[in-house]
Amino acid sequence: MRTITFADLCAGIGGFRYGLEKIGWKCVYSCEVDDNCEATYKLNYKDAFNKKDIADINPLELYGVDVFCSGFPCQPFSIAGKQLGFEDPRGEVFNHILRLVDGARPAVVFLENVANLVRHNNGETFSLMVNSLKDLNYNVFYKILDSSYFGVPQRRSRVYIVAFRNDCNINDFIFTEKRTEETHFRRFIKHGDNSIPITSKWQEYIDLYTGNITINEMSFNVPKTRQTLERISPKANLNDCIFQIRSSGIRAISLDEPLPTFAVSHSGGGAMIPVYSGERRHINITEMKRIMGFPDNFKFNVSRTHVVKQLANAVCPPVIESIGLDIRNKLIQESLSSAI
């Protein structure tokens, strides 16, 4: 079977690319509107983006590419956002993906988004997307997968969509649902890296939550949502745990379980970055890379604010790698090397 080629659309920092190149696929086209993502992408892959705005791509540029990949913008469909769907301008990106698929006819379309996409607008949004691909003569399969079963120490449920062009004659497709046991965070800690220290206020918060001081001994007025912990994991040792910072309050997460979905404020200045109580610091960049499934040697040349944003918005390469293997194995099984 010849090398599978793919286009990395809405590429971000290349989570699709890292996972798929690991199994021998070849990226021949990339697109992403964010200039800071381009700096990171170019540093790691030595390629600038072919186009910035997906709306500017002519389908003829992608003719002959085997697979179109995209982690298209999730904000319009995320439970954490306003859920405006196609009324959000970012929701229009999917329509541009359809335009490119219709014009260039790749053998496979491989997409990722938040799990809530399946439920958005009582399922109508997702049904519209699936039916739109079917109308273009693609057989569509999808699955919600949790990254913690792919060696990533984070519970990050995402919906993955794989659509095969009808002439591939693939009428069934099974996603591998786990490659590892549930992955816990403890062994991914990089001890002694205090590169993102906590504030003096957070020192007091840790003293409060661990019972070293009372709320009356705090040197500042404590917001109601932070006066006590909102939730404590059953196995959490408060002196050696992760404090997850949420608008609703603070949660204590055990090191002996996956972390919750990694999502932080776009400020990236430290305020919303999880805190490791064992060393009284925010989690560091190396730990963030490990939480997302990127290697320690993945490089950044942008500000920490952008690093945090880019990682939080990325797709997890180990999950992409697994699905890529599933796709490749299905094509081999069906003797479809000629189809791509």
Residues sharing a CB contact under 8 Å with residue 4, sequence separation 6 or more, in sequence order: 20, 24, 25, 26, 66, 67, 328, 331, 340
Q: In what order do the strands lie in the sheet with 249-253?
A: 231-232, 249-253, 242-246, 275-276, 281-282
Q: Which helix (H) or strand (E) holds 104?
A: helix 93-104
Residue 131: CB atoms within 10 A of its CB come to 11
Three-class secondary structure of residue 139 per DSSP: strand
Please name the residue that has the structure tokens 């690991």: 22
Both structure tokens of 94: 């999917």
210-221 CB burial, b ≥16 within 10 A, e <16:
eeeeeeeebeee
8 A C-beta contact, residue 91 and residue 75: no
Residues sharing a CB contact under 8 Å with residue 44, sequence separation 6 or more, in sequence order: 13, 14, 18, 298, 299
Q: How far is it between the farthest Cα atoms of the chain?
A: 73
Q: Is 172 exposed, middle or buried (0-12, 13-18, 19+ CB in 10 A)?
A: exposed
Residue 250: CB atoms within 10 A of its CB come to 20
| Phi and psi, residue 213, nearest 5° | -140, 165
Q: Which residues are catalytic?
A: 74
Q: How far, in Å, are 97, 143, 308, 325 from residue 140 at the CA level?
A: 15, 11, 33, 17
